[in-house]
């Protein structure tokens, strides 16, 4: 998503603004994050924020684009090849560890932003693109696992939708309440679902090869 026509200095400034926005959201959440609070996390002048963005919603829309760009890069380059390891890495990317306070607070802020999607078309489009990207990656990983004999024969579309719903349900319940015990338990339940419904058992895989 790098634009070759953008001045490198402007690009560096925008990157710093995105990082400052991330820190502000981790600290204050969506509703309480203002331009002033982002500016307090920004090493350059507040005037630069208004030079690049008209208002808070314009900035947040750019922030969602920035997140989506990073997600695309991560899914394309930083995931394992093995289908099982890849599936678990995708889930880890979506669900924070129970003891990672900053990650939990950041995802809660993103949930707050997602709740605004019916009212801001730009937010709606960004979250739809994010959903499509993750669902597509889940579907392709499940297909690869089935083809490799490591996953049970399942409908990749339906399994991806169900798994994504399980993960997002965990986010909405545990992350929004900052309930570490619920988050840890939900992660275990998702792992159990994968073991009993998605992964091919070692004994079955062995007999198939014999």
What does the pLDDT read at residue 207?
A: 39
- 104 & 205 share domain: yes
Q: What is the average pLDDT across 65-69?
A: 92
What does the pLDDT read at residue 51?
A: 81
Q: Is 20 within the bounds of a domain?
A: yes
Q: Is 32 within the bounds of a domain?
A: yes
Band of pLDDT at residue 201, cut at 50, 70 and 90: confident
Give the model confidence (pLDDT) of 102-138 as tens digits: 888 888 899 999 999 999 999 999 999 999 999 999 9
Q: What is the average pLDDT across 156-160?
A: 95
Q: What is the average pLDDT across 5-20?
A: 74
Band of pLDDT at residue 163, cut at 50, 70 and 90: very high
Q: Which of 16, 32, 67 is the last residue of a domain?
A: 67
- 63 & 84 share domain: no
More confident site: 183 or 144: 144
* pLDDT > 60? residue 23: yes
What does the pLDDT read at residue 25?
A: 93
- 180 & 90 share domain: yes
First to last CA, the chain: 48
The two tokens of residue 80 are 């394992």
Q: CA 61 to CA 122: how far, in whole Å?
A: 6
- pTM value is 0.82
- 93 & 40 share domain: no
- Host domain of residue 131: 79-210
- 44 & 84 share domain: no
Q: Is 192 within the bounds of a domain?
A: yes
What does the pLDDT read at residue 128?
A: 94
- 115 & 138 share domain: yes
DSSP secondary structure letter of residue 79: S
| Residue closest to 157 by CA, chosen among 181, 138, 172 | 138
- 141 & 210 share domain: yes
Q: What is the average pLDDT across 78-89?
A: 93
More confident site: 69 or 178: 69
> How many CA atoms lie within 13 Å of 55's alpha carbon, on the beta-carbon side?
1
Q: Which among 26-40, 48-62, 130-144, 170-184 has the top mean pLDDT?
A: 130-144
Q: Is 49 within the bounds of a domain?
A: yes
- Say how many C-beta atoms besides its own lie within 10 A of residue 1's C-beta: 9
The two tokens of residue 52 are 């690049």
Band of pLDDT at residue 205, cut at 50, 70 and 90: very low
Judge whether 190 and 170 are in contact, CB under 8 Å.
yes
What does the pLDDT read at residue 206?
A: 45
Helix, strand, or coil here: 9? Answer: helix
- 124 & 163 share domain: yes
Give the model confidence (pLDDT) of 36-59 as tens digits: 899 999 988 778 887 888 888 889
Q: Is 73 within the bounds of a domain?
A: no
Q: Is 181 within the bounds of a domain?
A: yes
- 110 & 186 share domain: yes
Q: Is 143 within the bounds of a domain?
A: yes
CATH assignment of the domain containing 88: 1.10.357.10
Judge whether 63 and 21 are in contact, CB under 8 Å.
yes
What does the pLDDT read at residue 10?
A: 62
Looking at the structure of the chain, the number of domains it has is 2
Q: Is 7 within the bounds of a domain?
A: yes
CATH assignment of the domain containing 11: 1.10.10.60
Judge whether 171 and 111 are in contact, CB under 8 Å.
yes
The two tokens of residue 120 are 């801001």
- 86 & 46 share domain: no
């Amino acid at each position: 998503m790098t634009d070759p026509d953008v001045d490198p200095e402007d690009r560096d400034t925008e990157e710093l603004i995105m990082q400052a926005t991330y820190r502000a959201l981790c600290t204050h959440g969506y509703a309480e994050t203002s331009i002033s609070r982002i500016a307090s996390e920004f090493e350059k002048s507040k005037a630069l924020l208004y030079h690049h963005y008209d208002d808070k919603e314009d900035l947040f829309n750019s922030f969602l684009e920035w997140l989506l760009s990073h997600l695309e890069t991560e899914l394309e380059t930083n995931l394992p090849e093995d289908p099982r390891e890849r599936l678990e890495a995708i889930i880890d990317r979506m669900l924070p560890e129970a003891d990672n306070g900053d990650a939990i607070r950041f995802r809660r802020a993103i949930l707050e932003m997602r709740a605004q999607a019916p009212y801001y078309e730009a937010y709606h489009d960004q979250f739809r693109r994010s959903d499509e990207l993750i669902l597509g990656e889940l579907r392709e990983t499940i297909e690869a696992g089935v083809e490799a004999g490591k996953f049970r024969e399942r409908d990749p579309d339906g399994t991806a939708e169900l798994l994504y719903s399980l993960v997002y349900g965990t986010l909405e319940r545990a992350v929004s309440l900052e309930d570490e015990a619920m988050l840890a338990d939900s992660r275990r339940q998702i792992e159990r679902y994968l073991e009993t419904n998605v992964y091919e058992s070692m004994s079955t895989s062995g007999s198939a090869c014999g």
